Amino acid sequence: MDSAYRLVMQPPSVDDYLRLRKESGLSARTREEAENGINGAWAAASVIHVESGETAGMGRVLGDGGWYFVIIDMAVLPRHQRKGIGDAIMTALLERIRESSPGAQVSLLADPPGRRLYARHGFVESAPSSIGMWRR
Ligand SMILES: CC(C)(COP(=O)(O)OP(=O)(O)OC[C@H]1O[C@@H](n2cnc3c(N)ncnc32)[C@H](O)[C@@H]1OP(=O)(O)O)[C@@H](O)C(=O)NCCC(=O)NCCS
């Protein structure tokens, strides 16, 4: 990631969270969901575009602090994509987990845009031994 950007280990504001999800193509969430959830993660990273002050990307981690960790909310605004921001966020979150829990199991649900990035960071498909399931 070049010097036009700065990474901080903090969640985005509620407004930025909602905008990042919507503009990057993730499902839109309500303001209430964002307000209730924004400080609930075990760790979070945001990337700021220094010149404009715009929050360009984010990623968060749910975790028990012991060994279970789940990466969520990986999103970079389209105009800032393919500049290494997603990579920098993933590197920072995994380092934060590793410092705390060297034996951590880290999982995520991988939408197509993120799959190559996740594979570069060592993620492999859990199937067939375990498949992701969800209820929505
Ligand atoms: C997934 C996502 C977060 C990745 O963010 P990103 O900042 O674009 O990620 P990176 O820049 O680190 O890597 C993306 C690609 O850009 C390439 N890249 C990185 N720096 C580059 C540069 N300076 N010049 C050209 N390409 C570059 C990387 O090699 C990578 O290529 P690949 O995907 O073909 O392997 C982003 O695409 C996104 O927000 N997508 C929409 C939301 C979404 O689906 N999120 C994932 C949910 S699971």
Residue 134 main-chain phi, psi, to 5 deg: -145, 165
- Provide mean pLDDT across the span 77-106: 97
**pTM score > 0.85 for this model?**
yes
- Provide mean pLDDT across the span 95-113: 97
| Chain segment 107-124, per-residue pLDDT in tens | 999 999 999 999 999 999
Q: Give the closest residue to 80 by CA, choosing from 50, 109, 108.
A: 50
Q: What is the pLDDT of residue 13?
A: 98
Distance between Cα 35 and ligand 1 center (Å): 27
| Cβ atoms of 81 and 89 closer than 8 Å | no
Ligand 1 pocket member 100 (CB < 6 A): no
Residue 23 main-chain phi, psi, to 5 deg: -75, -20
Q: Choose the residue to mutate in 16, 76, 106 for probing ligand 1, maximizing ligand atoms within 8 Å of C-beta.
A: 76
- Answer whether residue 91 shows pLDDT above 90: yes
| Cβ atoms of 55 and 69 closer than 8 Å | no
- Provide mean pLDDT across the span 39-62: 98
Type of residue numbered 107: S
Question: Which residues, at least 6 apart from 6, have a Cβ–Cβ distance to it below 8 Å?
Answer: 47, 48, 50
Q: Identify the H or E element spanning 90.
A: helix 85-100
| Chain segment 63-73, per-residue pLDDT in tens | 999 999 999 99
Distance between Cα 80 and ligand 1 center (Å): 9
How far is 90 from 118, CA to CA, in rounded Å?
8
The CATH code of domain 5-120 reads 3.40.630.30
Q: What is the pLDDT of residue 125?
A: 97
- Provide mean pLDDT across the span 69-93: 98
How far is 90 from 87, CA to CA, in rounded Å?
5
Expressed in angstroms, the distance from the first to the final Cα of the chain is 35
Q: Alpha-carbon Rg of the chain, whole angstroms?
A: 15
Of all residues in the chain, what percent carry a pLDDT higher than 90?
98
| Cβ atoms of 18 and 34 closer than 8 Å | yes
Q: What is the pLDDT of residue 2?
A: 87
